[in-house]
Amino acid sequence: VDLATGFISLVVSSRSLEDITSIVASPTGQLLASFQAPVSSQVYSIERIDLLSGERIALVSGDRPELAAHRMLALSERKLLIAGNESSGRIWNVDVDSGDITPVAGGGESPVSFNPRESLQSRFGRVIDLVLDSGGSILAASAAEAGVPPLVFRADLAAGTVTAVAGGGTRSIGTR
pLDDT per position as a tens digit, 42-64: 567 788 877 777 777 888 877 77
Give the Cα separation of 55 and 82 in Å (integer).
22
Region 81-101: mean pLDDT is 77
| pLDDT confidence tier of residue 13, bands split at 50, 70 and 90 | very low
Which phi and psi angles does 66 have, rounded to 5°? -65, -15
Higher model confidence: residue 103 or residue 7? 103
Closest CA to 82 of 166, 42, 24: 24
Determine contact, residues 105/155, Cβ cutoff 8 Å: yes
What is the pLDDT, as a whole number, of residue 134? 85
What is the pLDDT, as a whole number, of residue 92? 84
Give the Cα separation of 35 and 31 in Å (integer).
13
Using DSSP, state whether 151 is helix, strand or coil: strand
| Per-residue burial over 71-80, b = 16 or more CB atoms within 10 Å of its CB, e = otherwise | bbbbbebeeb
